[in-house]
Structure 1
Amino acid sequence: MLSRFMSGSVRNLEREYNCTVRLLDDTEYTCTIQRDAKGQYLFDLICHHLNLLEKDYFGIRYVDPDKQRHWLEFTKSIAKQMKSQPPFTMCLRVKFYPPDPAALKEEITRYLVFLQLKRDLYHGRLLCKTSDAAMLAAYILQAEIGDYDPGKHPEGYSSKFQFFPKHSEKLERRIADIHKTELIGQKPETSERNFLQKAQMLETYGVDPHPCKDVSGNPAFLAFTPFGFVVLQGNKRVHFLKWNEVTKLKFEGKTFHIYANQKEDKKIILTYFAPTPEACKHLWKCGVENQAFYKLEKSSQVRTVSSSNLFFKGSRFRYSGRVAKEVMEQSAKIKREPPEIHRAGLVPSRSCPSITHGPRLSSVPRTRRRAVHISIMEGLESLRDSAHSTPVRSVSHGESFIPRSRSQVADTSEGMAVISDEAYSPSDSVLPTPVAEHSMELAVSRQINGAPCSIEEEKELEAGTPMHGERGDYGADSRSAQEESHVRVKGPSAVKHTRVKVV
């Protein structure tokens, strides 16, 4: 009798799992979920906790035991998606970057996107030229500490903040000069909006980089953005395909193919190689979702994608959720009192020291900063904790889908574009993100990789490619693919939840 009671208690305990989600301000939301709870339930709990209505741009990311990152699928059981043992740890992140973040309806949404972009800036995903970097950092400074006050801000005060993976004393002085002279009187929400307007104009806005190699073995970063598919190498964007040009996304084993039709019926195929079959599948799924979100007019047009031409063979995947046009239309209907925003301000951050005023990375002597940065890069070498990309023109939503100033230069930015003074080489977050087993350093000057190949070459390549792993094939209605590194992540009825500060 006793044993029967005990076994029943064990079964009851197994029906609930503890789950912790790290939010964008690095606080933690902890809850208990039922064994059969689906991803949508957990996501709705978090959005309710944040008082967030424009939630379609966000997602929950987790890493599996093999350090492969994943996005939690909302239509499936959380427990079945996680390959690790409970308690589960996940992160709330921007999954689909708004084409025009400054135009978002609610301030709470803009603030969360601001936190994501600030994180991207610190980890090197949002890469830009020095002149833009100084202004972006000054906006962050104004939003977090307010107006310059000689009594509170001594000489060199901007060095107490770590805005980028590395920066010079000259840049720090320029940041302080802008903060002292150009931003006086700006409220936090105004500085955040100005930051968003500046960030959205950068070639690396919205980029969630997937490390891979091209057909010549040269390192590259692939990414899906609100405006299309991009390839970054060195300090240049070497390929950009608008979403309306992309006709098919496909993967087999570690090989990823993207098919496109460009001007004058020019058909091209780009081929890249991911570190693992799992990373390649994740990349493909991200592409499927992004293309569906940004390209389609309505969610009723979304179709199930099969990894094989045979119905009974291979994996199947379908984007679930509203598309960008529907999200914007729904946002326009929001009518409520703006929710109160509790800004992170000076709260220490585990992953983004830029919001730390006082000792953090800045507590390290100035002469040792670069050594510390190199040490971090050697110890943690690869997967990036967010997503960014190159805004250049909206696919199916016309000029209204991108800022006017961006659309004016869209036609001239289809070729190679310089994105920064330095090579694109995003660092790692200290949050649970994938860590690559092989370094993928990029030289400042690289030859153009991933050159288009002919249909005949593609057939030869397919014939010679080992058929191990799964295949994925997505047509013109597909959406953006995401990661290619060696990393995974893991991640509904809540009984309790608390908010805990991370120290």
Structure 2
Amino acid sequence: MMLGRLVSGGVRGVEREITCTVRLLDDSEYTCTVQSDAKGQWLFEQTCHHLSLLEKDYFGIRYVDPDKQRHWLEFTKPITKQMKSQPPFTMCLRVKFYPPDPAALKEEITRYLVFLQIKRDLYHGRLLCRSSDAAMLAAYILQAEIGDYDPGKHPEGYCSKFQFFPKHSERLERRIAEIHKTELVGQTPETSEMNFLRKARTLETYGVDPHPCKDVSGNAAFLAFTPLGFVVLQGNRRVHFLKWNEVTKMKFEGKTFYIYANQPDDQKIVLTYFAPTPEACKHLWKCGVENQAFYQFEKSSQVRTVSSSNLFFKGSRFRYSGRVAKEVMEQSAKIRREPPEIHRAGMVPSRSCPSITHGPRQSSVPQTRRRAVHISIMEGLESLQDSGHSTPVRSVSHGDSFLGSHGNGAEGKASAEISEEIYSPSDSMLPTPVSSNYSLDKSLGRSTKGSSFQEERDANSQDRRRTTGPRVRATHRGKFQQSPGSLEVERVGEVLGSLVRLFLVTLALLFVLLLLLIALTESELDVAFLRDIRRTPEFQQFHFEYFCPLRHWLACKLRWMGGHLVNK
């Protein structure tokens, strides 16, 4: 019997352990076993220890639930209570808060990891730039990962074997090779990565993690939080930019996201957007709250718990945990240790043919396993679950930028490339200009089957309506873009639900007040709190003028009802 207990106890002990795999920025994987009640902080600390990372506050662990919704792992909550899937769990280590000045980071290992993240952003189409900047960034990547140009190792057209962007032209490849051969000779990997970070920081889309939404008119938009503030991208134009000290409040109600701000001219504004799902809206709100706390406050003790809504709507409460940017910089200055060894992964071409028109290029970003859900507009982008951030910013331009083109008919994917035309800053508030007659819905491109984001379905339906006429218009409608009538009906339902919740809260408060009143008047509890209240003149006046007559009236009524029932 004792042996049976030991065996059963051992089985229970094994069942309490779960396996977690964290995919790192260089696409390697770190796997560890954690207890079922372990919190997210424990897994994050183990991952940072594996990487010898001390400046860890810029990073976070991201995972995707079975509904394809992304989440940042909360460090103060148990892992198993956050994950909706069954173990083993797979997550990704990504940059959560982009350093305002990545070149000012204390340790080389931190700069290298941020370098890998920004390189991913460039490859996934989140970091938009002109072709001149793109050529320089790509040349820095080449120098950092393959070293100086060597005619014996790097034949003519060697740049065509690598893919730094979703798609680019032969002319841009020649410019990348020219910079690599002549301007960067002798630069060490550390120097090239530092120069890359300094260049990327100057771009207006540095640190942008776009969240797809719709505005009140049903137009597609992307909301993002950067080290400088909150931005709204629409039609590839930055239609709103709010500094963090101008943002006064963020909240969400269902799928509706609100952001309140005070402009420099003392003008108060409220921006309203609609997320695809309530879960996406909640994720958007959490990201906004955390980014504002990290970049705006001077001390973590100044951060307060925030509520997502008000009394009329069921909401969520969230408290930022961890240090803020200024505290992180102060703590980094105190680091005193021998720099850890960095194992850089060089780019190895996967094919020998130098042609740039046929076959896949070797990406400078390590390849990860593909999924059925493709949210990219660009050929070769990874799927939603593989990427470290939300939907890439779709980019279309007639200038020096990413240029959206028609999708590949064989694979059904859209593509984009760096254009060589003249860049005109007046075309756009972003480094990437957009033609005035090109809409964002058109630039969204086509996606493969299984995409969970409705804005891509809207783009598909618009393309079909232009080609097949009224018959397709009646059968292919995106569900995400709601009509004003349906939005009003949904809003009325939310208001009615809020009124019901208000009524229930009021009843609960009245019940609590009634219990407190009985405890004050009828009980003999000799508690200091109750005793002090009983001694106040206001309570004594209420007790003798109102409560005692009311109690006498109720007692008479109860006696009369009791006698009436007995007589019957």
**Distance across 1 between alignment mates of 2:9 and 2:53:** 39
Distance 1:214 1:77, change over 3 A: same
1:54 to partner: Cα distance: 0.5
| Equivalent residue in structure 2 for 1:439, among 456, 465, 475 | 456
In structure 2, the partner of 1:128 is 129
**Distance across 1 between alignment mates of 2:218 and 2:337:** 53
Report the aligned-residue RMSD: 3.7
Distance 1:140 1:375, change over 3 A: closer
**Distance across 2 between alignment mates of 1:11 and 1:363:** 58
**Distance across 1 between alignment mates of 2:289 and 2:215:** 21
| Equivalent residue in structure 2 for 1:366, among 333, 357, 370 | 357
In structure 2, the partner of 1:385 is 388
In structure 2, the partner of 1:467 is 494
In structure 2, the partner of 1:140 is 141
**Distance across 2 between alignment mates of 1:88 and 1:418:** 38
**Distance across 1 between alignment mates of 2:328 and 2:9:** 45
Distance 1:418 1:437, change over 3 A: closer
Asked if the contact 1:20/1:29 (under 8 Å) is kept, the reply is: yes
Q: Give deviations 1:238-273, integer Å, cap 9, x for gaps.
A: 211000000110111111111110022111111111
Distance 1:383 1:242, change over 3 A: farther
**Distance across 1 between alignment mates of 2:49 and 2:59:** 13
Distance 1:462 1:185, change over 3 A: farther
Question: Which TM-score applies when normalising by structure 2?
Answer: 0.67
Number of residue pairs matched by the alignment: 419
In structure 2, the partner of 1:79 is 80
Asked if the contact 1:377/1:427 (under 8 Å) is kept, the reply is: no
1:3 to partner: Cα distance: 7.3
**Distance across 2 between alignment mates of 1:26 and 1:49:** 14
**Distance across 2 between alignment mates of 1:134 and 1:53:** 32
Q: Which amino acid is 2:430 matched to?
A: V
Distance 1:367 1:222, change over 3 A: same
Asked if the contact 2:211/2:390 (under 8 Å) is kept, the reply is: no
In structure 1, the partner of 2:349 is 357
In structure 1, the partner of 2:215 is 214
1:236 to partner: Cα distance: 2.0
Asked if the contact 2:167/2:379 (under 8 Å) is kept, the reply is: no
In structure 2, the partner of 1:303 is 304
Asked if the contact 1:255/1:272 (under 8 Å) is kept, the reply is: yes
**Bigger Rg over Cα:** 2
Moved more, 123-132 or 381-390: 381-390
Q: Which amino acid is 2:357 matched to?
A: R
Describe how 1:112-261 pairs up with structure 2 within 5 A: 112-261=113-262
1:150 to partner: Cα distance: 0.5
Q: Which amino acid is 2:350 matched to?
A: G
In structure 1, the partner of 2:103 is 102
**Distance across 2 between alignment mates of 1:82 and 1:241:** 33
Q: Which amino acid is 1:417 matched to?
A: M
What are structure 2's unaligned runs of at least 5 residues? 362-373, 394-424, 461-486, 499-568
**Distance across 2 between alignment mates of 1:189 and 1:339:** 13
In structure 1, the partner of 2:410 is none
**Distance across 1 between alignment mates of 2:230 and 2:270:** 13
1:367 to partner: Cα distance: 4.0
In structure 1, the partner of 2:278 is 277
Q: Which amino acid is 1:304 matched to?
A: T
1:146 to partner: Cα distance: 0.3
In structure 2, the partner of 1:417 is 429
Q: Which amino acid is 1:160 matched to?
A: K
Same amino acid, percent of matched pairs: 74
Give 3-state SS (helix, strand or coil) of 1:358's partner. coil
Q: Which amino acid is 1:357 matched to?
A: P
In structure 2, the partner of 1:401 is none
Greater fraction helix: 2
Asked if the contact 1:206/1:387 (under 8 Å) is kept, the reply is: no
What are structure 1's unaligned runs of at least 5 residues? 347-355, 391-412, 429-433, 444-459, 472-503
**Distance across 1 between alignment mates of 2:391 and 2:327:** 22
1:365 to partner: Cα distance: 6.6
Asked if the contact 1:165/1:427 (under 8 Å) is kept, the reply is: no
Asked if the contact 1:384/1:427 (under 8 Å) is kept, the reply is: no
Distance 1:309 1:375, change over 3 A: closer
**Distance across 1 between alignment mates of 2:334 and 2:202:** 27
1:376 to partner: Cα distance: 5.6
Q: Give deviations 1:257-297, integer Å, cap 9, x for gaps.
A: 11110022111111111100000000000000000000011
Question: Which TM-score applies when normalising by structure 1?
Answer: 0.75
**Distance across 2 between alignment mates of 1:276 and 1:249:** 17
Q: Give deviations 1:64-97, integer Å, cap 9, x for gaps.
A: 0111000000011011111100000000000000
**Distance across 2 between alignment mates of 1:311 and 1:114:** 45
Asked if the contact 1:122/1:164 (under 8 Å) is kept, the reply is: yes
1:359 to partner: Cα distance: 3.4
